Structure 1
Amino acid sequence: MSQMLALVLVLLILFAGDVVAVRTKAWVPSIFISAVLFLVGYWTFFPENIVEIAGIPSVVATMLMYLLITNMGTLLSLKELGRQWKTILIALSGIVGIIVFLFAIGTVLFDFQTVVVAIPPLVGGVVSALIMSEGASEAGLASLSVFAIVIYVVQGFAGYPLTSIVLKQEGRRILGLYRSGKLEENALAAKSDATEESTAKEATELRLFKKLPAKYNTDFFKFFRLALVAYLAYLVSTLLNPIVEISPFVLCLLFGVLAASIGFLEKQPLQKANGFGFAILGLMLFIFDGLKRATPSMMLEILYPMIGVIVIGVVGMYVFSWIAGKLLKVSPRMAFAVSLTALYGFPADYIITNEVIKSLTEDETERELLTNRMLPPMLVGGFITVTIVSVILAGIFVGFL
């Protein structure tokens, strides 16, 4: 297959996902449709390395991940991160719910090793899945080695539509309060804060380069500064590794926040450098590339434990996040949505949230209100669950095999 044909096919799938999401007003997320179509493609005529043929090898996807996460950090201020302590507690409670329910119920239906292998990939991303897969392989558990990968690959099929549903319900609740005037005071305060922040931003954004003529702030200069911040995050991660293992992607988020706060990066530099769309494209293709491992025979062999583990885990997640939401006075739907980010992480959390917001209203003020209330907790929740906690869990659970 030629490179351009591969590119056309994968782009057609992404576009088909967008069409369905628009037509269904995000009740069916684009990521879900794209994942199904990729799976069908791999089971029929797609070459296994179609994403690499199309021009997105893993090394490019990793580079885009560094840039995107650093870019996302510029959306969050230090003040905003401090406000998200409830989000962190809710995300952690959802993970506790998964662990408790799977050990309490899952070990009755399945064997202990199956539950141990399933938990880290279920609450995390590819790193935790690979750790458990390799651990199971070394322990001579070949089927569980595959099981760890498939859990990671298919968990999004449960997470995508559920997240879309609860976010739409939460968005309608917020809009109902706003339109009835019950959120008017808060909305006006938020708008005032946004205005003040915008004014402050104009004065402080890129204040380290305030004497630099605007004509020199080219797209390449934006890319350079973004890459430099990402590299510093990677460098600090490697320096800290002998003492404490911290994912460079977590540091990319934090460094993005700090770089924007001190005026080294503007808000959303990737968008301003006209590179955000391509970066999301490359990263989404890399995620769907993982579906090539899920063959039909493999899916049939582990179908029962896979469905059982995901259902039990999601129920546990819902119960514990609901309790945490009640205790912290956070909407149960928002709490559940934050916990669900464990099933997919970034960039799916960003894409689904934005799809839902666009489907709920055409009014820019209302969209801004929904974005301010729903996007920050979804992003923070995804980084806590997928990027941090899952890797820690994998390091602990692999010792049980």
Structure 2
Amino acid sequence: MAFVFVALVYALGEVVGTLTKAWVPSVFVTAVLFLVGYWTFFPKEIVSIAGFATPFTSPICIYILITHMGTTISIKELVKQWKIIVICIAGLAGMIGLCMALAATGLVDWNYVVSGLPPLTGGIVAALTMQEAAAAKGLEMAALLAIAMYIFQGFVGYPLTAALLKKEGSNLLKGYRSGEVKLTAAAEEKTAEEPEKKKLIPSVPDKFFTSAFALLKVSLVALLAFYIGSWTGISGAVWALILGIVFTELGFLDRDILHKCGCFNFICFALMLFVFDGLKSATPAMLVQILVPLLIIIVVGVLGMGVLSILVGKVLKVSPFMAFATALTALYGFPPNLILTTEASKALASNDEEYQYLMDTMLPQMIVGGFVTVTITSVIIAGIFTGFLQ
């Protein structure tokens, strides 16, 4: 029965997210439903009763997912979009710098800023990392703020990105409609699908590639990352991401391995339930207490991100709208970056050719932005910031 209830709540959140095209994030709806459940008839341990307890969710699922994230990164596409990478890193630096300056003033509690910043720069992995680190130090409010940041940040990121993409798209269409830009030029910019290059470790035949075999390979790499983290003192999550990339390039791990073996959605389901389990001790009074610091951190962080990403974009000759939009992918990642770009392109284009031109121009930059912020940088930032909690 516990499993049925947590699955029902999760599914309702996804339905609302789909119906609203992610303008109302599914994680927000699900979080609200869990809170209502905890405040009424849900037992506090409903997630554990449903079978999603530690160590399965943490550290096993976390390390497996981070290792998988390394298998999704295309080194070639990252190199091609180097300007976007520089802009996104600059945006994150601006966000961190201004928020840390805020913490130094004492206006917002130091632990609130430290626990809230990594989730603001990325996604679920950063949020879980900071939640666990804060909880381990007995910082209950900071742990709650880390999860709340992950849940609420999209409400700033979605409308702001949508406005920026529409402005960028309008400018692109002016050049396209005036004849300054040719469709063929945009088509040439598309990343061509190339045959898989020869790997040091050859792939196993498809008949032997089962879910169990795929999980064995990815968990071996995750285990190695876990031990290297304990030996070096650098978060194992960071090593899991690095080793995921390295072992994919070597050929030991298959590209996008969890999707290939059909396990990705279930691993994410388990991890998200672990996130919502962190809300079980949250009371209305606690949420009210963290609301103001949460909003201040988001506003100050986004301001710092906007200023630095636009300035660096100007130096690299990238429009301010695209520079800021790609940096903002830190607040939501994939698939909202795809959805927002698609919606903006559909709203602006008057025909299929214009729509394709906008998608070919803006989407690769938005996807790379999400990789750099959510998939790569936020994991590294979270690994570092766990040591800053007091």
| TM bucket normalised to smaller | 0.7 to 0.9
Q: 1:209, CA displacement in angstroms?
A: 3.2
> What SS does the corresponding residue of 2:255 show, helix, strand or coil?
coil
C-alpha distance in 1, partners of 2:382/2:61? Answer: 22
Q: Output one character per residue of 1:128-178: Cα deviation in whole Å (capped at 9) or x when no partner.
A: 45555666x6xxxxxxx3432232122134411233334445655677648
Match runs of 1:339-378 below 5 Å: 339-340=327-328, 349-356=333-340, 372-378=364-370
Q: Output one character per residue of 1:88-121: Cα deviation in whole Å (capped at 9) or x when no partner.
A: 544444444345544666776xx45x44222211
Q: Which runs of 5+ in 2 are unaligned?
A: 119-126, 347-351
Q: Residue 338 of structure 1 contacts residue 381 of structure 1 at CA under 8 Å; is this kept in 2?
A: no
| 1:79 paired residue number | 76
| 1:189 paired residue number | 188
Q: Read off the aligned partner of 1:286 and give its amino acid letter.
A: F
| 1:285 paired residue number | 273
Within the candidate set 369, 372, 392, 2:384 is matched to: 392
C-alpha distance in 2, partners of 1:107/1:246? Answer: 25
Q: Residue 52 of structure 2 contacts residue 273 of structure 2 at CA under 8 Å; is this kept in 1?
A: yes
Identify if the C-alpha distance between structure 1 residues 147 and 310 changes in structure 2 by more than 3 Å, giving closer, same or farther: farther
C-alpha distance in 2, partners of 1:299/1:382? Answer: 25
> What SS does the corresponding residue of 1:73 show, helix, strand or coil?
helix
| 2:141 paired residue number | 147
C-alpha distance in 2, partners of 1:73/1:100? Answer: 27
Within the candidate set 27, 31, 46, 1:31 is matched to: 27
Q: Residue 325 of structure 2 contacts residue 366 of structure 2 at CA under 8 Å; is this kept in 1?
A: no
| 1:68 paired residue number | 65
Q: Output one character per residue of 1:277-306: Cα deviation in whole Å (capped at 9) or x when no partner.
A: 111211221122222232112223444344
Identify if the C-alpha distance between structure 1 residues 83 and 32 changes in structure 2 by more than 3 Å, giving closer, same or farther: farther
C-alpha distance in 2, partners of 1:122/1:334? Answer: 25
Q: Read off the aligned partner of 1:122 and give its amino acid letter.
A: G
Tell me if 1:116 matches 2:105. Answer: no
C-alpha distance in 2, partners of 1:372/1:173? Answer: 17
Q: Read off the aligned partner of 1:121 and give its amino acid letter.
A: S
Identify if the C-alpha distance between structure 1 residues 359 and 31 changes in structure 2 by more than 3 Å, giving closer, same or farther: farther
Identity of aligned residues (%): 35
Q: Read off the aligned partner of 2:301 and give its amino acid letter.
A: G
Identify if the C-alpha distance between structure 1 residues 316 and 175 changes in structure 2 by more than 3 Å, giving closer, same or farther: closer
Larger displacement relative to structure 2 (47-56 or 367-376): 367-376
Q: CA RMSD in A?
A: 3.6
| 1:15 paired residue number | 11
C-alpha distance in 1, partners of 2:277/2:314? Answer: 39
Match runs of 1:2-401 below 5 Å: 5-61=1-57, 62-83=59-80, 86=83, 89-102=86-99, 111=106, 114-124=108-118, 125-129=127-131, 131=133, 145-169=139-163, 177=172, 182=181, 184-185=183-184, 187-191=186-190, 193-195=191-193, 197=194, 200-201=195-196, 204=198, 208-209=201-202, 212-239=204-231, 241=232, 245-336=233-324, 339-340=327-328, 349-356=333-340, 372-395=364-387, 397-398=388-389
Q: Output one character per residue of 1:299-338: Cα deviation in whole Å (capped at 9) or x when no partner.
A: 2344434433433333333333333333344454554455
Identify if the C-alpha distance between structure 1 residues 151 and 186 changes in structure 2 by more than 3 Å, giving closer, same or farther: farther
| 2:122 paired residue number | none
Q: Which runs of 5+ in 1 are unaligned?
A: 138-144
| 2:124 paired residue number | none
Q: Residue 101 of structure 1 contacts residue 312 of structure 1 at CA under 8 Å; is this kept in 2?
A: yes
C-alpha distance in 1, partners of 2:155/2:294? Answer: 18
Q: Read off the aligned partner of 1:279 and give its amino acid letter.
A: I
Q: 1:25, CA displacement in angstroms?
A: 2.0
Q: Residue 187 of structure 2 contacts residue 360 of structure 2 at CA under 8 Å; is this kept in 1?
A: no
Q: 1:47, CA displacement in angstroms?
A: 1.8
Say how many residue pairs are matched: 368
> What SS does the corresponding residue of 2:37 show, helix, strand or coil?
helix
C-alpha distance in 2, partners of 1:300/1:374? Answer: 34
Identify if the C-alpha distance between structure 1 residues 263 and 104 changes in structure 2 by more than 3 Å, giving closer, same or farther: closer
| 1:142 paired residue number | none
Q: Read off the aligned partner of 1:326 and give its amino acid letter.
A: K
